[in-house]
Structure formats: structure tokens, C-alpha cells
């Protein structure tokens, strides 16, 4: 089936699916006016994240145009990205000050 | 823009008109509940502490409970103490009088000779105050007298995509009209503090925003706790929020885009107007109560999963960006922001609608949590009881 996902910034490498997605669904994302299709690699619950590209362990995950964590496992394009395969990164407050 | 409010003798303006039965400590908390049950028009807040506390916890208790009494939604306060507690009735009376000159009666259970005599005296005082309060007429007041608390709890991934951006728009409207909006929950700035800091009105405020995040992480590290172990919560994760960074980047939308004029300590009253920040924990109830203690007359609360939280002093408006939650938790949710995700309305349009709803509540419309009489109260703590 065709499903939609929200890509919030052009540099994001994940998008948020707005319905429950089943493996093999075509998930459509609007990237700066261009319609991109990603085939779901697995089932993804509504409002969870789908990988828009192949991600390797250690890669930064980008949503809102910002780093939201790093991959703890490899994930191919169309995978479900969740707390099970990404981790939070420490802050560097002294540099920010 | 103006609203109809109750002008208090200290100059501040209430949108509700209640008499507060206020405990100094846990030992007088139940007595306060019984008194409030006896007198229509009075309310109470519970107190789980107030004794055997370290100095820093005692200070929070004085700041918070005196702030409740000073909140402009309160016409007058009956303060009930036990008589031997660490948070003394005399000091609490002084703390209240330092913030407001509204009517205040103090009842000490040990001085009155037990519960029945104390209840008798407190009920008489509360009944007198309620009758006086009923004579206060609403008058037109400028929106510059309004302080709105912005909160989120039980977040999911829709919170950062719909509900919080919509509240952010509402917050900008309030601030542009001269009012004030306080955003809190320092935990939920972490990972987004560099973006929030860009809104600081001065370099000093920028340092404060970064500093409260660093201090919170250090505080938790000192008790061998990584903040990331408790955040996001299990429900957040199930709802699609994977890391604290992702949660925070969604959370800070609710503060809008206007310059941050002041960073307040927990439960402190603002000295500035406009967009403000209060240093509170990511625990939603302890944040709501702190902003109400800071003088907020109304709370806008976003939730993706759905939560019942209410406050007896200030009405809480529940907003969700999750269409399923809106249907499932219709008993608890006041405003549906999921229309933004469907594409039926823009964030700006929905933010204007929420502003209209806010003004309805400010002018007297009863929220869902208010109709239930929900009254959760929780207080930040620094250290174990002694």
C-alpha cells in the first residue's frame, strides 16, 4: 500500500511515518517539493521513524535538521529506526558556553 | 487585547476566584483536605514534605507553597500548620506576606488543641473568605497581566510535529500582545539547548540556559545516574521518541520563537514579561506546580499519549497532536491539534484556534481536568529526608 511520511528538513536521514506501515509498503516523502518513495523494509508503527538511506553503526541520525543520536547497528534504507538501534550522544556544554 | 479578571490588592489579576487551604507540611495536609471539603469555593493542595528536610528542600517548600498563596487565582488563604514542623507556620506566613498582601489566616493544630478545633477555626475562616470572594467583580484587564504556563507530558512523536509547534504559535501570539509564557522542564531542553540558547535576549541569559542543562546532568551524575537512563520514558519510546535529543527538539517548539527574557529558578515569580524559562525537572506535575507557584494563571499542556493532570489553582488545557489519542482520551483532552498532521490546517491556523480556546478558558470556560477536579501536586527535591 501507499503510505506517507514527514521529512522535516532536507538534510534529515529519517522521516516520521504518519500511519502504521507494513513491510513492503511504498512510503512517500516530500523532500523540498520532490516526491521520494522508500520501500518499507519491515513493519513500522505510526509516528515512528523510517530510514531514508542506508545507515551504518556510528552514523549520526538527523531529524529536525539536528542530530538526535547515533546508530548502534547497521540499518538498510526503509528500516524502522527506534530506541532499539540508536543511542543518545553526550553534550559538550563548555564549548556551547 | 483584554480579558475579564479579578484584580487583587497586590495588583495581579486572577482568572479564577478561589480560597486556598494550604498545608505547611504533610502532618497538616489531611486537615486541609477535610476543611476544603467542608467549604464550597475553597480548594487545597497536598503537601508530601515540609519537615525533616535539608535547607535546600525547605527553601523549595517555602518558595512553592507561598507561591501558591500568592497566585492571583487565589482570593485568600487559610494556612494550616501542625506546630512542630521544620517548615514553620510563622516563616511560611512571612514568605506569603513577602509576595502578596491578600487576606491570610493562620491555624496551628497543636495551638488549637487538636484536629477538631483546628478544623472548626479553619472552616469558619474559609467560609468568611469565600463569601468575601463572591463580592469581587470581574473587570477588564490587559493581557500583559496574563502568565501562561507551557507544559508537556506523556509525549509521543506527534508532540514535536503538531501539538508543540501549535502551542509555540499560541505562545508567540500571547507574547506579541504583551502577555507572558513560561516554558519549563530543563531535562527536555537537553539536546536542543543550543537552539533554545539562540533565543536568549542577552549573552547572560544564553549562559543561564546552557548552564541549567549542564548543572542538571552533573547533579544526576553525582548520584550515579545518567539522565539518559530515565529519559525518554518507556511510553515516549513506544510513541516513537528514541532519544532525549529527539524529545527535546520536539519539546522546545512549545516555547515559540520570541526572545527569552528571563531564566527563573524553580517556583520563583517572574520579574520580566514575555517569553520566559523556568528551571524545573522533566517530571511534568512538578513542573506545572512550580509554574503555578510562579504565578501562572493558566496552563497549556500537550500530550501525545494522553494524561489526566489537573491543578486546583490554575486550569489546565490539554492539547494532543495524536488523532487516536484525541478519540481514545476525549474525556481528558480539550484541543485537537492532529488536524495539522492531516494537513487540514496549518500550524499557524491551529495556533490561532488554540489562542481563542485559551482566551475562552481565561474568561471562565471550564477545562476537562477542571471539571474532574483533578489536583495533582508534586514538588522538586534536592536530597533525601533527614
B12 found inside a domain: no
Pair B383, B57: CB distance under 8 Å: yes
B13 found inside a domain: no
Omega before residue B232 within 30° of 0, cis: yes
pLDDT score at B231: 87
B43 found inside a domain: yes
- Verify whether the Cβ–Cβ distance B243 to A96 is below 8 Å: no
B10 found inside a domain: no
Q: Which of A18, A47, A69 sits opposite B243 (nearest CB)?
A: A69
At A36-92, the pLDDT tens digits run 999 999 999 999 999 999 999 999 999 999 999 999 999 999 999 999 999 999 999
**A8 touches B: beta carbon within 8 Å:** yes
- B61 with B126, same domain: the answer is yes
- B185 with B264, same domain: the answer is yes
The pTM of this model reads 0.97
- B124 with B152, same domain: the answer is no
Number of domains chain B is built from: 2
A-B interface: how many C-beta pairs under 8 angstroms?
Answer: 83
**B339 touches A: beta carbon within 8 Å:** no
pLDDT score at B47: 97
* C-alpha pair distances (Å), B269 with each of A82, B18, B22, B98, B192: 39, 20, 18, 12, 25
Residues of B in contact with A83 (CB under 8 A): 232, 237, 242-243
pLDDT score at A97: 87
**B243 touches A: beta carbon within 8 Å:** yes
- B122 with B179, same domain: the answer is no
Dihedral angle, C-alpha B189, B67, B298, B376, nearest 10 °: 80
pLDDT score at B228: 86
- B342 with B202, same domain: the answer is yes
Q: Which of A48, A87, A91 sits opposite B157 (nearest CB)?
A: A48
Which residue range(s) make up the domain with B206? 143-372
Residues of A in contact with B189 (CB under 8 A): none
- B26 with B98, same domain: the answer is yes
Residues of B in contact with A96 (CB under 8 A): 193-194, 197, 210
- Verify whether the Cβ–Cβ distance A91 to B232 is below 8 Å: no
Residue of A nearest to B244 (CA): A88
pLDDT score at B309: 95
Distance CA B151, CA A23 (A): 36
- Verify whether the Cβ–Cβ distance A88 to B243 is below 8 Å: yes
Q: Where are the domains of chain A?
A: 2-90
Q: Which of B197, B239, B244 sits opposite A47 (nearest CB)?
A: B239
Q: How far is CA A12 from the centre of its chain?
A: 7
- B112 with B200, same domain: the answer is no
Instruction: Kindly list the strands in the beta sheet with B180-183, ordered across the sheet, starting from the edge strand earlier in the chain.
Output: B260-264, B275-278, B180-183, B147-152, B298-302, B316-320, B335-336
pLDDT in tens, chain B (386 residues): 899 999 999 999 999 999 999 999 999 999 999 999 999 999 999 999 999 999 999 999 999 999 999 999 999 999 999 999 999 999 999 999 999 999 999 999 999 999 999 999 999 999 999 999 999 999 999 999 999 999 999 999 999 999 999 999 999 999 999 999 999 999 999 999 999 999 999 999 999 999 999 999 999 999 999 888 888 999 999 999 999 999 999 999 999 999 999 999 999 999 999 999 999 999 999 999 999 999 999 999 999 999 999 999 999 999 999 999 999 999 999 999 999 998 899 999 999 999 999 999 999 999 999 999 999 999 999 999 99
**B2 touches A: beta carbon within 8 Å:** no
- Region A2-90: CATH code: 2.30.130.110
B379 found inside a domain: no
- B227 with B294, same domain: the answer is yes
Distance from CA of B214 to the nearest CA of A (A): 6
**B159 touches A: beta carbon within 8 Å:** no
- B202 with B339, same domain: the answer is yes
Distance from CA of B113 to the nearest CA of A (A): 55
pLDDT score at B227: 87
Residues of B in contact with A87 (CB under 8 A): 243
- The CATH number of the domain where B105 resides is what? 3.40.50
- B204 with B308, same domain: the answer is yes
DSSP letters for B309-363? ---SSS-EEEEES-HHHHHHTTTT--EE-THHHHTSS-HHHHHHHHHHHHHHHHT
- B23 with B154, same domain: the answer is no
Amino acid at each position: 500500500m501507499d503510505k506517507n511520511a514527514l521529512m522535516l528538513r532536507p538534510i534529515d536521514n529519517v522521516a516520521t511515518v504518519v500511519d502504521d506501515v507494513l513491510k513492503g509498503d511504498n512510503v512517500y516523502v516530500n523532500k523540498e517539493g520532490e516526491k521520494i518513495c522508500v520501500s518499507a523494509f519491515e513493519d513500522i508503527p505510526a509516528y515512528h521513524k523510517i530510514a531514508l538511506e542506508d545507515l551504518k553503526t556510528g552514523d549520526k541520525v538527523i531529524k529536525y535538521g539536528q542530530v538526535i543520536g547515533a546508530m548502534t547497528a547497521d540499518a538498510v534504507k526503509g528500516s524502522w529506526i527506534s530506541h532499539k538501534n540508536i543511542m543518545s550522544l553526550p553534550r559538550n556544554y563548555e564549548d556551547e558556553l | 487585547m483584554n480579558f475579564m479578571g479579578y484584580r487583587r490588592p497586590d495588583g495581579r489579576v486572577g482568572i479564577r476566584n478561589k480560597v486556598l487551604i494550604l498545608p505547611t507540611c504533610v502532618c497538616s495536609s489531611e486537615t486541609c483536605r477535610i476543611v476544603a471539603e467542608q467549604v464550597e469555593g475553597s480548594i487545597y493542595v497536598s503537601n508530601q514534605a515540609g519537615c525533616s528536610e535539608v535547607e535546600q528542600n525547605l527553601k523549595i517548600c517555602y518558595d512553592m507553597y507561598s507561591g501558591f498563596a500568592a497566585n492571583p487565582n487565589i482570593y485568600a488563604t487559610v494556612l494550616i500548620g501542625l506546630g512542630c514542623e521544620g517548615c514553620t507556620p510563622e516563616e511560611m506566613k512571612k514568605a506569603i506576606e513577602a509576595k502578596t498582601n491578600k487576606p491570610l489566616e493562620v491555624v496551628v493544630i497543636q495551638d488549637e488543641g487538636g484536629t477538631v478545633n483546628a478544623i472548626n477555626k479553619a472552616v469558619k475562616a474559609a467560609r468568611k473568605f469565600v463569601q468575601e470572594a463572591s463580592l469581587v467583580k470581574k473587570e477588564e484587564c490587559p493581557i500583559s497581566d496574563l502568565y501562561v504556563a507551557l507544559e508537556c507530558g506523556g509525549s509521543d512523536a506527534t508532540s514535536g510535529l503538531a501539538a508543540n509547534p501549535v502551542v509555540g504559535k499560541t505562545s508567540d501570539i500571547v507574547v506579541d500582545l504583551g502577555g507572558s509564557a513560561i516554558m519549563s522542564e530543563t531535562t527536555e531542553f537537553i539536546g536542543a539547548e543550543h537552539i533554545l540558547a539562540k533565543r536568549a535576549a542577552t549573552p547572560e541569559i544564553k549562559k543561564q540556559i546552557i548552564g541549567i542543562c549542564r548543572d542538571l546532568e552533573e547533579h544526576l551524575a553525582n548520584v550515579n545516574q545518567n539522565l539518559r537512563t530515565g529519559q525518554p520514558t518507556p511510553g515516549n519510546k513506544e510513541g516513537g521518541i528514541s532519544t532525549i535529543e529527539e524529545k527535546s527538539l520536539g519539546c522546545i517548539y512549545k516555547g515559540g520563537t520570541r526572545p527569552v527574557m528571563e531564566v527563573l529558578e524553580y517556583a520563583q515569580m517572574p520579574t520580566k514579561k514575555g517569553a520566559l524559562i523556568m528551571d524545573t525537572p522533566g517530571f511534568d506535575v512538578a513542573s506545572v506546580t512550580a509554574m503555578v507557584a510562579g504565578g501562572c494563571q493558566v496552563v497549556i499542556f500537550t500530550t501525545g499519549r494522553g494524561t489526566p493532570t489537573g491543578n486546583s489553582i490554575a486550569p489546565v488545557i490539554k492539547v494532543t497532536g495524536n488523532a487516536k489519542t484525541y478519540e481514545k482520551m476525549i474525556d481528558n483532552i480539550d484541543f485537537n491539534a492532529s488536524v495539522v498532521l492531516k494537513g487540514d490546517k496549518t500550524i499557524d491556523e491551529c495556533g490561532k484556534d488554540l489562542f481563542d480556546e485559551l482566551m475562552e478558558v481565561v474568561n471562565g470556560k471550564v477545562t476537562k481536568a477542571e471539571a474532574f477536579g483533578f489536583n495533582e501536586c508534586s514538588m522538586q527535591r534536592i536530597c533525601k529526608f533527614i
